[in-house]
Amino acid sequence: MSTLTKKESAMSNLHDDIAYMKALAEAGNAGPLRSGATLLWAGILFGLASVGQYLLMIGVLPQQAWVSLGIWFGCGGLFGIIAVLLNRSRRPVSATGKASSSVWSAVGLGIGASLITVILVVYQTHETMALSFIAPILIVLYGVGWWVDARMSGLAWLKLVALGCFVAAPVLGLMAAMPEQMLAYAGCLLLLASLPGYILMKAEKA
């Protein structure tokens, strides 16, 4: 075999190896996002908590701190149980699915840290107005999660969901100290978390 033939054979093998590795990478990235059901329940449960907070603020429910804590910790605890069960029932099988799960885990941690921070500010300053920051901050974090999901998955419509979150945040800010802010936040959660989550969940099962 001539030297030229050997070089051509080596180049052919190299091209085959590159094509094989590319196919593996594409196969690893293929597949639906796996966070749909979790986001569906997040929107529903925390939307219900927001409605409960609204009823408390207008006097339908007793205006006591323990009632508010019961609403939020109750819904938060139930969501935690559901999230754990969902994570155990299915595992991400693609690189994109795994990355998406990591993104939303980070968003969840960011939400928890933001809530604790605002609560500590209220405790330290005795200014309950700071609570009005919670809804806008959290909806921004949802927007960040959706934007990253859109970039990783190539699902352009998720960018519209993310932009919806970014537009909703200042609107919620304008409603600071108004009971209606909680109703608006509940609507945002259903529209910008539950609905996209449901669509992704259906795509996952398809």
Extents of the domains making up the chain:
35-205
Alpha helices in 90-194 (DSSP H): 95-125, 134-153, 157-174, 180-189
Instruction: Identify which of 85, 76, 90 has the alpha carbon closest to the alpha carbon of residue 33.
Output: 90
Q: Is the dihedral of CA 40, 45, 49, 51 positive or negative?
A: positive
CA pair distance 108, 104, nearest whole angstrom:
6
pLDDT in tens, the chain (206 residues): 555 565 556 556 656 655 544 443 444 454 567 789 999 999 999 999 999 999 999 999 999 989 999 999 999 999 999 999 988 876 656 777 788 888 999 999 999 999 999 999 999 999 989 999 999 999 999 999 999 999 988 899 999 999 999 999 999 999 999 999 999 999 999 999 999 999 999 988 76
pTM over 0.85: no
Distance of alpha carbon 70 from alpha carbon 65, whole angstroms: 8
